[in-house]
């Protein structure tokens, strides 16, 4: 069967350090070991967005020798512990993550599932997908199924639809979510045919993953428009990354740009304690400072929750700059610019 355009583009992805060396004139040798340990894949579209060595798009997708430094955890969220069957992560009673693939359109160097993505040892089999769906069917508490991976939209339409049909057939499942970075890395994947499929399984939420305003391209905007026009509710999860988006101006441009393409910012994630990603991590205070700077100047519509996913699988906790204080028996609230205002609390 002929490949679809997106499959063709995917095949043209950059997967070797030599291609990087050719285009950017860098020395490929130190990167070979890194790419052997954590796979390299950059779609042609994303590759074209890179402006220069070390820029915010480069650092998200190009291997870096610092990935080989010791420290952090292979599985920082103890997902293995919350995995009753291989394809399921069940940490909260009413919702599960269903891992449907361990491939992505491109591999992000900061990925929380760095230990798994793109590795043949962690491929998700057809049987594991089925086992995962049977698990959901057997637990009536589960009202929310989050398709994740890897990237679920890397699957062909027919496979994806088969999964959606089976999940929708479970009467206690109320909503389906899909987590996908393809609107950013492979916007060609968002075809009218795909949107027609997704629309049938409403309510369906798609959380995508933009990290930098330069990822907001005409192609990614068109992909989001196709989805939104079919009633798919779009959210965004950004990872706070040192040297990529850890400054207020960049974050504001990203968040406002997302609203313009009908994507509602949902989470700003503190970078998990993943092995090989320490160079991306920021102090917690950086995220808090950004959140404080947003409040007021930026619409609440554009403000994500800043969340830290605690080690050991203790769950996500939203962090807020300390707004509420008590002074001389009175309640005092800090405004966005830092003024202390007394509030007649009960
Ligand atoms: C983040 C997460 C969810 C979804 O949490 P929401 O806060 O509802 O978006 C579900 N399960 C696991 C294991 C998670 O890490
Ligand atoms: S697309 Fe998502 S799952 Fe895939 S490498 Fe990037 S962050 Fe990880």
User: According to the model, what pLDDT value does residue 47 have?
Assistant: 98
CB of 35 within 6 A of ligand 2: the answer is no
Closest residue by CA, ligand 1 atom 4: 95
Cβ of 42 less than 6 Å from ligand 2: no
Q: Enumerate domains of the chain plus CATH numbers.
A: 70-343 (3.20.20.70)
Ligand 1 neighbourhood includes 269 CB (under 6 angstroms): no
Q: What are phi and psi of 305, to 5 degrees?
A: -80, 135
Question: Residue 345's pLDDT is what?
Answer: 87
Strand order in the sheet with 340-343: 324-327, 330-334, 340-343
Q: What is the largest CA-CA distance in the chain?
A: 75
pTM over 0.85: yes
- Reduced to 3 states, what is the DSSP secondary structure of residue 207? strand
- Which one is catalytic: 115, 272, 281, 292? 272
Q: Residue 47 Cα, ligand 1 centroid: separation in angstroms?
A: 30
Q: Which ligand is nearest to the CA of 116?
A: 2
Tell me the two tokens of residue 247: 């400054």
- Indicate if ligand 1 lies below 6 Å from the C-beta of 97: yes
- Averages of pLDDT over runs of 10 residues in the chain (346 residues) are 93 98 96 97 98 98 97 92 97 97 98 93 95 98 97 97 98 98 98 98 98 98 98 98 98 98 98 97 96 91 96 92 84 85 89
Distance 104 CA to ligand 2 centre (A): 6
Q: Is the CB of 90 under 6 A from ligand 2?
A: no
Check if 224 is active-site. Answer: no
Give, to the nearest 10 degrees, the angle between helix 284-294 and helix 248-260: 60
Q: Whose CA is nearest to atom 1 of ligand 1?
A: 316
CA distance 318 to 312: 17
């Amino acid at each position: 069967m002929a490949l679809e355009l997106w499959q063709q583009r995917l095949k043209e992805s950059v997967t070797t350090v030599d291609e990087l060396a050719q285009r950017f004139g860098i020395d490929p040798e130190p990167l070979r070991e890194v790419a052997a340990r954590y796979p390299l894949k950059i779609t042609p579209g994303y590759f074209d967005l890179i402006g220069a060595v070390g820029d915010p798009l480069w650092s998200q997708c190009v291997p870096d020798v610092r990935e080989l430094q010791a420290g952090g955890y292979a599985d920082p969220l103890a997902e293995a512990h919350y995995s009753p069957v291989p394809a399921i992560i069940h940490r909260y009673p009413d919702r599960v993550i269903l891992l449907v693939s361990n491939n992505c359109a491109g591999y992000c160097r900061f990925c929380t599932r760095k230990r798994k993505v793109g590795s043949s040892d962690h491929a998700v089999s057809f049987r594991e997908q089925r086992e995962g769906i049977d698990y959901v069917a057997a637990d009536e508490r589960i009202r929310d199924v989050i398709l994740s991976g890897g990237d679920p939209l890397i699957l062909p339409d027919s496979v994806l639809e088969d999964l959606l049909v089976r999940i929708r057939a479970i009467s206690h499942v109320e909503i389906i979510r899909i987590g996908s970075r393809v609107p950013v890395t492979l916007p060609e994947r968002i075809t009218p045919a795909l949107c027609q499929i997704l629309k049938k399984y409403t309510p369906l939420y798609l959380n995508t993953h933009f990290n930098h305003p330069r990822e907001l391209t005409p192609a990614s905007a068109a992909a989001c428009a196709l989805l939104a026009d079919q009633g798919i509710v779009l959210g965004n999860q950004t990872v706070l990354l040192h040297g990529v988006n850890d400054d207020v101006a960049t974050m504001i441009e990203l968040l406002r740009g997302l609203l313009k393409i009908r994507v509602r910012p949902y989470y700003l994630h503190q970078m998990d304690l993943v092995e090989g990603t320490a160079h991306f991590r920021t102090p917690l205070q950086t995220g808090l400072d950004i959140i404080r700077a947003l409040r007021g100047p930026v619409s609440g519509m554009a403000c994500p929750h800043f969340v830290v996913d605690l080690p050991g699988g203790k769950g996500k906790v939203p962090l807020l700059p300390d707004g509420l204080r008590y002074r001389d028996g009175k309640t005092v609230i800090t405004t966005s610019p830092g003024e202390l205002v007394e509030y007649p609390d009960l």
